């Protein structure tokens, strides 16, 4: 039974008059699934509540940040306490150092770290630093990976760019992307060949060490090992974009799971506990090229904002205390086994890559290893599944080319409710 979205529809019509597409980020616009985005009124624990009074089990958690669920007491208390001391100083404060120390303790490859305000700022800055440090210009990225809306990285990008069918954006001058090479993810041979031909020009390779932005795509061990080897051989900076996977797949991120030590790492999402925080960091020799120590300029009025730092400190402290990762892995694995059984029961070709608390149900019979495979997914069938689940009170990522995120606020009761909604949804779409 479809839910009532009368108020959301009315408000979204109003929003579209004053905000492009009615959204401040295209990923929220339901472009990949059609229909009208529900307007959220509030969130608590595992739930989102829209302005029509509908309640949803939340499987995006603000696209990753809310690994402990919404309004976690430790994070909310820290934000409230910080607010009593003001909102922003434009001068150094203790909490910036405390959060930097927590990041460095959690991610050993990070020896020095700079806070910024978004994942995009983190990757944009990391690219500039890698180019400044090496004196080289060429950057390698991988098709389907999304690293924020950085000019030089909006080439065959994933996430909203892929969802909306514009993986390489207009408005980016050719000069900005002339030095960006986009290779197939998980393709060791093309990586090797590119380095053989142009190794001396390559400043950095940036990748999602587990892709979330074309749906979940897991790297082969050989791919990661090849990456590390060729970067070291040719003096290129290996950048793990862990904006999504950092503190998500393990406390030390994907690099902890895979035992790979990148030269630089970008972070965001969970790091801010729901507040706007990004960060980039890595080897001391590289990070010492950043102003004011070195010549590579990067700055930000609200970087290291004390309220955001307080939220990040509370988040990382809670994650260390609670260690939710084993339970998240078990929950997510059980959920995906259940979803796959249901999709199979209704004869729906699918694959469900899952790692840690990230998963995607691809309506695609092939195991998705790269952009070329992902793009053959049945996005129309996904759209019907998404809306059927939404009507069932389950809020999934609104694109086939996004990851879902399980939070520690979800319990057995929620797992069963999700599978019951999926049973109805998958039966419904199998019939249509
Ligand atoms: P932000 O600038 O959106 O904070 O971070 C950009 C970014 C960088 N790197 C990775 C691996 C990312 O996943 C992101 C942002 N992720 C998307 C979701 N796929 C954010 C959602 C949105 O754009 O609204």
pLDDT in tens, 253-300: 999 999 999 999 999 999 999 999 999 999 999 999 999 999 999 999
Please say if 269 is a catalytic residue. yes
Q: pLDDT at residue 167 above 80?
A: no
Please say if 346 is a catalytic residue. no
State the distance from the centre of ligand 1 to the C-alpha of 100, rounded, in angstroms: 21
CB of 276 shorter than 6 A to ligand 1: no
SS3 44: strand
Query: How much of the chain, in percent, has pLDDT values that exceed 70?
Result: 100
CB of 154 shorter than 6 A to ligand 1: no
pLDDT in tens, 76-118: 999 999 999 999 999 999 999 999 999 999 999 999 999 999 9
pTM for the model: 0.98
Place of tokens 């309004």: 71
pLDDT at 274: 97
| Interval 13-34 mean pLDDT | 97
Cβ distance 240 to 209 under 8 Å?
A: yes
Cα–Cα nearest to 161, from 309, 371, 408? 371
Query: How much of the chain, in percent, has pLDDT values that exceed 90?
Result: 94
Burial class (CB in 10 A: 0-12, 13-18, 19+), 409: buried
CB of 384 shorter than 6 A to ligand 1: no
Please say if 185 is a catalytic residue. no
Q: pLDDT at residue 184 above 90?
A: yes
Residue closest via CA to ligand 1's atom 9 equals 147
Atom of ligand 1 nearest to the CA of 64: 18
pLDDT in tens, 365-386: 999 999 999 999 999 999 999 9
3-state percent breakdown (helix, strand, coil) of the chain, nearest 5 = 45, 15, 40
Place of tokens 């939404």: 390
The sheet carrying 394-395 orders its strands as 40-44, 47-50, 55-58, 394-395
Measured at the CA of 65, the angle between CA 301 and CA 112, to 5 degrees, comes to: 55
State the distance from the centre of ligand 1 to the C-alpha of 147, rounded, in angstroms: 6
**Domains along the chain with CATH numbers:** 6-67+324-431 (3.90.1150.10), 73-322 (3.40.640.10)
CB of 282 shorter than 6 A to ligand 1: no
Looking at 112, 269, 378, 395, which residue is catalytic?
Answer: 269
């Amino acid at each position: 039974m479809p839910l009532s979205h009368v108020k959301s529809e009315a408000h979204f019509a109003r929003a579209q008059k004053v905000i492009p597409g009615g959204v401040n980020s295209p990923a929220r616009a339901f472009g990949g699934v059609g229909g009208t985005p529900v307007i959220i009124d509030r969130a608590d624990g595992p739930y989102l509540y829209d302005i029509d009074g509908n309640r949803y089990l939340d499987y995006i958690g603000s696209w990753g940040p809310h690994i402990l669920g919404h309004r976690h007491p430790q994070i909310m208390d820290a934000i409230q306490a910080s607010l009593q001391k003001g909102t922003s100083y434009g001068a150094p404060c203790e909490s910036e150092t405390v959060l930097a120390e927590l990041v460095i303790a959690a991610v050993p490859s990070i020896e020095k770290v700079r806070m910024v305000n978004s994942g995009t700022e983190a990757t944009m800055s990391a690219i500039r630093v890698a180019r400044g440090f090496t004196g080289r210009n060429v950057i390698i990225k991988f098709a389907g990976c999304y690293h924020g809306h950085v000019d030089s990285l909006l080439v065959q990008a994933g996430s909203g760019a892929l969802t909306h069918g514009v993986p390489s954006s207009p408005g980016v001058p050719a000069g900005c992307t002339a030095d960006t090479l986009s290779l197939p993810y998980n393709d060791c041979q093309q990586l090797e060949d590119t380095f053989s031909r142009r190794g001396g020009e390559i400043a950095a390779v940036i990748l999602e060490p587990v892709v979330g932005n074309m749906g979940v795509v897991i790297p082969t061990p050989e791919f990661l090992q090849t990456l590390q080897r060729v970067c070291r051989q040719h003096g290129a900076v290996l950048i793990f974009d862990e904006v999504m996977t950092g503190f998500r797949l393990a406390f030390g991120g994907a690099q902890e799971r895979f035992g790979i030590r990148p030269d630089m790492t970008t972070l965001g999402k969970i790091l801010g506990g729901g507040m706007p925080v990004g960060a980039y960091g890595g080897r001391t020799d590289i990070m010492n090229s950043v102003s004011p120590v070195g010549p590579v300029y990067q700055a930000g009025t609200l970087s290291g904002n004390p309220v955001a730092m307080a939220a990040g400190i509370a988040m990382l402290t809670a994650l260390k205390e609670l260690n939710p990762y084993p339970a998240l892995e078990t929950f997510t694995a059980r959920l995906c086994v259940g979803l796959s059984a249901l999709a199979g029961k209704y004869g729906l070709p699918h694959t469900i890559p899952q790692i840690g608390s990230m998963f995607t149900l691809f309506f695609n019979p092939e195991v998705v290893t790269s952009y070329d495979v992902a793009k053959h997914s049945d996005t129309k069938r996904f759209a019907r599944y998404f809306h059927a689940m939404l009507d069932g009170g389950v809020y999934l990522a609104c694109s086939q080319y996004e990851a879902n995120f399980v939070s520690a606020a979800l319990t057995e009761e929620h797992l069963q409710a999700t599978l019951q909604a999926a049973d109805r949804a998958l039966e419904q779409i199998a019939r249509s």
